[in-house]
Amino acid sequence: MMSSQLSVARLLWRAENVNGARINTAWTSDGVRSFTYRDLVSDVRDLAGALASIGVKRGSRVATMAWNTRQHLAAYFAVPALGAVLHTVNHRMPVEHMAYTINHVSDEVLIVDEDLLPSVEAMRGRIPTVRHLIVVGEPGAIDDFDQVIPYDQFVSGASTHGTFQEVDENTAASICFTSGTTGSPKGVVYSHRSIVLHAMAISTKGGVEIDAERAYLLATQMSHVNGWGVPYAAALQGARLVLPGPHPTPERFLDLIHGERPDTFVGSPTVAALMRDEHLRRNCGYDLSELKTMWLGGQVPPVALARWWAEQGARVVNGWGMTETSPMGTFSPGGSMQGRPLPLFELRVVDESGSPQHWDGQTVGELEVRSPWVAREYLDDPRTADSFRDGWLRTGDVATVHPDARLQIKDREKDLVKSGGEWISSVDLENALMIHPAVSEAAVIAIPDDTWQERPLAWLRLDADVTDEELRTFLATTLPRFWLPDRFVRVDEIPKTAMGKIDKADIRRQHRENTGQPTSTDQASTVSDGRDHNVAVIPTRSDTTSGL
């Protein structure tokens, strides 16, 4: 057989020669603009040539701080096609974390959207490796770098188009970082091979089935885990991308659904809920009839939200993944549990000694995974030793696997509640709470108890008034009585991480500051692994961990 390397450049060849006439759309300040895959490849060649002209070569590190735009999409392909490494900086992180990741990677070039320049200003003098600042828009007065230049001027000034490099498929192509909610973020390096295989896997029937006949509104940030791999899979398959541009709002997403007619929304339950609320506020003024799928990840979508979208004709699909898994590991087209493993993705549940457990749907243990697109280490980070064992990634999730290979996440190890010697799953309890029509969001933490060791405390964001006793009565129909929280805390908003996920570390901090009482995981949270999990479970009344 031929030894043909899997690389991002191969995806570009297909995008240009097979899918070249297929049209994508992007929101801009001048309105929605269309461009073909052939146009995209031309953009990629221009950017690659410009980067090469300032010395970007194999192994160079190029960072982006950008929204979901045509220019960012070009960087997704141009940087690795040169043999360089793309670092997508999550601009929702705290500034100190952004600076940490840029320094950890030693980025030489930073491509930044104009409206994100205040974050660059805040890092002034703290990112010494960056020599070239390329601004999509107007650079303003920043002059701390060897070169500061507008993007359009930069790409138009290149004397030649870039030449796509033949690289070893195991060469680094991109780097993303975990959220680092309590510790410093951890870097995950994706190879050309892992990107291509992940794109192929999520395109299969065992994955999300990305194909040329579908259009994807990409709401999940391209700065987060390679945009869930969708840009690469879309180029491979010729699927249409709808890019929402800078500072997207629920109104803009609805406008794009109404006007551009995508059939799939890719994003978080939080954004999906805000879109629902905006649609209702506008007296259902948006045409959602073409939308058939809501691919939601990052946190548990409330069952009421999933049902509302189903009533609009869009099914909610979900899965499981992490930054370390590129991110997709399992997928459930029917919203049942976390679904089955993608092709070429292996998983197992192990006990404390590391021995694999039976797939009986009852036995629980720590979930471990391996795959061609699962990381084998963290970038120059000693925490690698704690997270990888015998070729498997230790996820820190407590799970069980059913005989038909369906994965069921029970909890994070550090989020379990041990009450009276028995374990309570915070995930199952949160799911059960969110079935109640008054509960929009729920987050459960463990607090110390003199009698029972620990008890669950539930933070709730409500859509309607409900008493504590009404909630306990409701929960008692599906859960053991000792699971029922002694206390409920009603809040206007539940804290979220930079990735838009519920931030239990912040909830514990606020509880400690507001009450003067510790939580059971205060000590553990100070050494959190910072892994970025992408879990969505949609419960029913009869099974609080299964799908609609």
- State the catalytic residues: 178, 324, 418, 423
From residue 94, give the alpha-carbon distance in Å to each of 117, 144, 477, 499: 14, 21, 42, 11
Residue type for 73, please? L
Burial of 258 (0-12, 13-18, 19+ CB in 10 A): middle
Strands across the sheet with 439-449, in order?
439-449, 453-462, 487-490
Kindly report the three-state secondary structure assignment for every residue of 103-133.
HHHCCCEEEEEHHHHHHHHHCCCCCCCCCEE
b/e sequence 531-544, b meaning 16+ C-beta within 10 Å: bbbbbbbbbbeeeb
CA distance 208 to 201: 8
b/e sequence 17-35, b meaning 16+ C-beta within 10 Å: eebeebebbbbeeeebeeb
Residues in contact with 130: Cβ distance below 8 Å, sequence separation at least 6, in sequence order:
63, 102, 107, 108, 109, 110, 145
The DSSP bridge pattern shows strands 172-177 and 187-191 to be antiparallel
Cα torsion at 28, 30, 31, 33 (round to 10°)? -70
DSSP result, 284-344:
S-S--TT--EEEE-SSPPPHHHHHHHHHTT-EEEEEEEBGGGSSEEEEETT--TTBEEPTT
Place of tokens 């299964």: 546
Tell me the two tokens of residue 151: 């993007």
Asked if residues 91 and 114 have their Cβ atoms less than 8 Å apart, the reply is: no
CA distance 509 to 280: 35
From residue 319, give the alpha-carbon distance in Å to each of 190, 292, 333: 20, 17, 8
Residues in contact with 57: Cβ distance below 8 Å, sequence separation at least 6, in sequence order:
82, 83, 84
CA distance 526 to 82: 40
Rg of the chain (C-alpha set):
23
Cα torsion at 462, 465, 469, 473 (round to 10°)? -70
Helix runs in 54-86, H state only: 70-81
Question: Which residues sit opposite 369 in a β-bridge?
Answer: 347, 393
